[in-house]
Amino acid sequence: MADTQAEQRPSAGEGRRPVILVAARFEEGHAHKTEVLAPNECGARVFFDAILAAGGLPVQMSLTDDEDVIDQYVTLADGVAIPGGPDVDPKLWGDDAPYDESLLCHVRDACELPLVRKAIAADKPLFTTCRGTQMLNVALGGTLDMDVPSIPRREGSVAHDHADLLTRTSHRVEIEPGSLLERASGSHGFAVNSAHHCCVGELGEGLVLSATSDDGIPECIEMPSRRFVLGVQWHPEYTWMTGGPDFNLWKAFVDACR
């Protein structure tokens, strides 16, 4: 009689917490006395705590560009979450203009580009924040605007600081009626934090824009053809603790993974 791992593992609807694969962040190694410590593959505690509080089981993946390994990770996962971090390399969408290398992370690019594509191909729920949302757009053929401060704002609006607030709200988001974001957040619009100097430009294939800031900056993209693909530009991992729409996003994501 077959005795495989898949047969032994209960489904996510039978009391088991759904497994949420979390893409790792990367920290360069640093000097320690006479040696250099190895680089770290890590994650923000608030990100893992948000998944746990919403009922999921976060599992951090290794940073790898081995597509066979990424395939196995996606098969293991009930859903995938990709956090914020450094800028996505503009060369990934064909922009060869000089760009500050210190703002990039090629190790994450090489891992997350196929990870996004494979998660979507497998129709695994996908929730991305900030850089993760930018990678979602790029992975599907979109582009980014690499300098939010220089983007013309909506006429008559107040231009907000989009770069430096994590624990406090920066601006409101205006949400498209009937969108996944509206359903997941339980809100028609609410105030969010903001810490990004890049944002979505031309939309990737199959993606739609479902929210902008009240001064006109793109804030959320989603993919209606999949059961749950949602990318927000803000950082709900820092604000879920107070409940409300941001915690609703985590709960809706984890529920979609059951």
Residues catalogued as catalytic: 130, 235, 237
Task: State the Cα–Cα distance between residues 121 and 6, nearest whole angstrom.
Answer: 20
Cβ neighbors of 184 (< 8 A, separation 6 or more) are: 230, 248, 249, 252, 253
Task: State the Cα–Cα distance between residues 236 and 249, nearest whole angstrom.
Answer: 8
Task: State the Cα–Cα distance between residues 140 and 85, nearest whole angstrom.
Answer: 19
Among 117, 220, 112, 122, which residue's Cα sits nearest to residue 176? 220
Task: State the Cα–Cα distance between residues 250 and 221, nearest whole angstrom.
Answer: 16
Residue in the structure block whose two tokens are 């001064």: 215
Cβ neighbors of 27 (< 8 A, separation 6 or more) are: 39, 40, 42
Report phi then psi at 209, rounded to 5: -85, 125
Residues in the chain: 258
